[in-house]
Amino acid sequence: MPELSLLNIFLLLGGALLIALVAGQLVALVVGETRQLRAQSLSEHVARELLLTSLASARRAQRKAEEAGAPWNGIRKFSVARKVADRGDACSFYLAPHDKKSLPAFKPGQYLTFELDIPGQKKKVIRCYSLSDSNHPDFYRVTIKRCPPSKPEHPSGLSSNFFHDHIQEGTILDVKAPGGHFFLDTSKEVPVVLISAGVGITPCLSMMNELIELGSKREIWWFFGCRNSGDHIMKEHVAELAAKHENIRLHVCYSAPGPTDEEGTDYQHKGRVTVDLFKELLPSNNYDYYMCGPGPFMESITTALTEWGVPDNRVHFEAFGPASVKKKAAAPVTAETSAAPAFKVTFGKSGQTADWNAKFGNLLEFATSLGVALPSGCCAGQCGTCLTAIRSGNVIYANEPGSKPEPGTCLACVALPQGDLVLDA
């Protein structure tokens, strides 16, 4: 074998080094590509899984809707299948359709309207109660709090006390189909903040239960306010859901904790639910807000949310009674709603005419002040009992009523005159 010159040795070594370098680069390239492919396939897998989850939840929702019956017109009979007492002087009623036919699906946040025959009352007593659970094939559920007398000289709440004291398992009730515009669109994925106080928990509970039932992974913040654990409606149920589902962030505020109530266990914050608390806890204000509670509570939260820069169309709320509706109606005082213009309001059948006075907040109260008896139910623009024909003129609503009146009619309990008005009453 010829002797290798030093130069040849160098050349050979250099070549080998070059080959090794190229091979190394090739291996690195292949490994890199493989890693990238793996990462890509992993993210594709995750995306596919997410898609499958949302498809499954959409299918479940569709199946539920298909299985459910059609809404009914007028009254349908329901029998009370279960009556369950809760904290906070509240009681849940599970209502099964007496005809045993299927139940139409409702949107979480909607309510049922009841027509009650209460002994001693000349007319049927009409009241709305929010559905307080998710959709179930066999029953609807409402949760009703006893309404105490507003002043010692006033009687206790008629319908709520009647429910507590006289409606038992097996009682048959007259019920109108689910309705209302305050509901959560469960097909969306936008994070939500559910805000409630006292018995205002009911529609928010339905929203949360429905999202969980559908397997939604939507971010849910739940702010609930009450005095203490004695008033804490559905305490155990909500705490259990929050413990099981990491997408639920539960924040309970007690304004007056009881001696055995423990911060961190029974409640998270001492005080009331406020927007300052949201600012402290929420990563941003970029949420859809759903709210139900006493009038002053909702008024303070909505005002502070607006100040925080939350657009109005992301804040949804429901009033349970006339007090809060009055507040809402009073909010957007414009030339049309202010007391300034001297509109004439005439009640045609009763032959009464008077100058509109904005202090009455709505046409029902104005009529009552003149001794014109209009039928009324929920006093919140929801049940449709005060529907009155308009002979001439127009009305406006500070907020869209729950049941949209036909043209040429108005819901007197939430309507305001827009100019001279003649009602068929």
Which residue's CB is nearer to ligand FAD, number 130 or number 229? 130
Place of tokens 């009409």: 126
Which residue's CB is nearer to ligand FAD, number 156 or number 350? 156
Q: Which of 158, 212, 387, 422 binds ligand FAD (CB under 6 A)?
A: 158
**Cα(252)–Cα(241) distance, integer angstroms:** 14
Q: Which of 100, 122, 154, 244 binds ligand FAD (CB under 6 A)?
A: 154
**Cα(87)–Cα(145) distance, integer angstroms:** 9
Q: Which of 197, 378, 421, 425 binds ligand FAD (CB under 6 A)?
A: 378
Closest-approach residue to ligand FAD (CB): 157
**What is the C-alpha end-to-end distance of the chain, expressed in Å?**
124
Least distance (Å) between residue 234 CB and ligand FAD: 12
**Cα(380)–Cα(260) distance, integer angstroms:** 38
Place of tokens 């819901």: 411
Instruction: Look at residues 133, 236, 239 and name the one whose alpha carbon lies nearest to residue 178.
Output: 133
Place of tokens 């018995």: 199
**Cα(253)–Cα(25) distance, integer angstroms:** 62
Site for ligand FAD contains 315 (CB under 6 A): no
Q: Which of 80, 91, 103, 147 binds ligand FAD (CB under 6 A)?
A: 147
Site for ligand FAD contains 144 (CB under 6 A): yes
Which residue's CB is nearer to ligand FAD, number 147 or number 390? 147
Phi and psi torsions of 248, nearest 5°: -100, 125
Least distance (Å) between residue 219 CB and ligand FAD: 25
Place of tokens 């539960």: 250
Q: Which of 76, 141, 145, 218 binds ligand FAD (CB under 6 A)?
A: 145
Least distance (Å) between residue 109 CB and ligand FAD: 10
8-state DSSP, 86: -
Least distance (Å) between residue 392 CB and ligand FAD: 29
Packing angle of the helix pair 295-307, 322-330 (nearest 10 deg): 30
**Cα(165)–Cα(190) distance, integer angstroms:** 41
The interface mask with ligand FAD, positions 101-120, x = CB under 6 A, is ----------x---------
Helix (H, G, I), strand (E, B) or coil at 188: coil
**Cα(106)–Cα(103) distance, integer angstroms:** 9
Phi and psi torsions of 47, nearest 5°: -60, -40
Which residue's CB is nearer to ligand FAD, number 362 or number 382? 382
The interface mask with ligand FAD, positions 163-202, x = CB under 6 A, is -----------------x------------------x--x
272 within 8 A of 177, measured Cβ to Cβ: no
**Cα(393)–Cα(410) distance, integer angstroms:** 11
Least distance (Å) between residue 328 CB and ligand FAD: 12
Structure tokens at 206: 């339905």
Least distance (Å) between residue 123 CB and ligand FAD: 13
Alpha helices in 68-157 (DSSP H): none
Which residue's CB is nearer to ligand FAD, number 198 or number 417? 198
Structure tokens at 308: 């925080």
Which residue's CB is nearer to ligand FAD, number 205 or number 310? 205
**Cα(31)–Cα(383) distance, integer angstroms:** 68
Site for ligand FAD contains 403 (CB under 6 A): no
Site for ligand FAD contains 316 (CB under 6 A): no
Least distance (Å) between residue 126 CB and ligand FAD: 9
Number of residues that bind ligand FAD (CB under 6 A): 29
Which residue's CB is nearer to ligand FAD, number 13 or number 84? 84
- Point out which span in 23-31, 76-84, 133-141, 376-384 binds ligand FAD (CB under 6 A): 376-384
Which residue's CB is nearer to ligand FAD, number 75 or number 281? 75
> Taking CA 311 as the corner, what is the angle to CA 305 and CA 313, rounded to the nearest 5 degrees?
110
Place of tokens 């000289």: 153
Which residue's CB is nearer to ligand FAD, number 14 or number 149? 149
Q: Which residues of this protein are in contact with ligand FAD, per CB under 6 A?
A: 111, 127-130, 142-145, 147, 149-150, 154-161, 180, 199, 202, 318, 320-321, 378, 380, 382
